[in-house]
Amino acid sequence: MVNDTESIRTKEKRLNQLAQEITRLDRSPLYQYRKKNDYKPVFGEGNPDADIMFIGEAPGVKEAETGRPFVGRAGQYLNSLLSSIDLKRADVYITNIVKDRPPSNRNPHAAEIDIYAPFLCKQINIIQPKVIATLGRFATAFIIDLFHLPQAGKKIGEIHGVIMHTPTDFGKVYIIPMYHPAAVFYNRNLAGFLEKDFYTLKLLC
Ligand code: URA
């Protein structure tokens, strides 16, 4: 028990150190935009010892104003999907590939993904989740490439809800790609898929 508590504290401490590095990341192409708008970097939040880690794309305006991931409209929907499988935000860990808001919520550029990727990899290695749920095509493509999965190049429409797995230094990790919650605002028909994929996620835990 003491050991568990200590290892969670160590994880928390290592995550905090990483978050501070991102705060000082002035070589990021998004750093000046952050400063100019008085935005905050959005590192990630939740249980440092979570079994489930959600990875989204990049912060939107609400996230950049608060420094917290998924607190806008997509976040409200994510919260309701979590409660549909009896989970709370505090049970899981939620982060993004890109840790600063891209202007006008445009898609992240490759250079932006590249600069924040090592931080995401470190977050994964610290938290050591059993399941990674990727939200949307950017996070899905990133994780598929990272672990050299055979689904490389497949569209999110083909692989959402498909359970993949990979060996890692800390054991087997399941990966489940999902539509991004915000995609449902543009196409209501995707809601049923997302709800079903959350149910699949529940069965994995
Ligand atoms: N969309 C994302 O991908 N991440 C957030 O944190 C908010 C919206």
What tens digit of pLDDT does each residue of 75-123 get? 999 999 999 999 999 999 999 999 999 999 999 999 999 999 999 999 9
Q: What is the pLDDT of residue 4?
A: 87
CA of 152 to the centre of ligand 1 (A): 23
Statement: the pTM of the whole predicted model exceeds 0.85: yes
Strand partners, 55: 95, 134
Q: Is the CB of 60 under 6 A from ligand 1?
A: yes
Q: Where are the beta strands (DSSP E) in 61-187?
A: 93-96, 131-135, 164-168, 171-178
CA of 73 to the centre of ligand 1 (A): 9
> Residue whose CA is closest, atom 7 of ligand 1?
70
Confidence band, pLDDT 50/70/90 cuts, at residue 1 = low
Pairing of strands 93-96, 45-46: antiparallel
Q: Is the CB of 129 under 6 A from ligand 1?
A: no
d(CA 194, CA 47): 23
Instruction: Report pLDDT digits (tens) over 3-24.
Output: 789 899 999 999 999 999 999 9
Closest Cα partner for 102 from 153, 155, 56, 145?
A: 56
